Homo-oligomer: A and B are copies of this chain.
Amino acid sequence: MDDEKLNDDNSPGEKKYEELDEETLFVVTQSFKALSDPTRIRILHLLFFKEYSVNEIAEVLHLKQSTVSHQLRFLKNLRLVKFRREGTTLYYSHDDKHVMDILNQTINHALHS
């Protein structure tokens, strides 16, 4: 928890609760929002081991191409995925170890309880 809680008044005995600053709150919220939708979780889970093209993702997960593309844009904006181009095909892969780790932890936690 680091040192998030400190006195910021001058009463020696009283500890005042120190809120999360607005930007941290926003970043944390966004990270979890990315993982709060089943489609995005399925996509990230698919990308765990290897890269896939947009159409491959759509086929494997039985989703519309446009649905996948919209969600990939969402994930790309948060820098949770990246892509490389090969001709007209874009291969997407995950790009945030921390988020993938948290997803993995939570999946395993859910599987074992």
Q: Please report A residues at the B interface, Cβ cutoff 8 Å.
A: 1-2, 4-5, 17, 19-20, 24-29, 31-33, 35-38, 41-42, 45-46, 48-49, 60-61, 98, 102-111
Contact = CB atoms under 8 A, between A and B. Distances in A.
Copies of this chain, tallied across the complex:
2
A27 B42 CA distance: 13
A28 B106 contact: yes
A35 to B, nearest CB: 4
Given A1-B108, A17-B60, 14 more contacts: A1-B48, A1-B104, A4-B107, A20-B107, A24-B110, A25-B41, A27-B110, A28-B41, A29-B35, A29-B37, A29-B41, A31-B110, A32-B33, A32-B35
Contacts of A25: 38, 41-42
Contacts of A37: 29
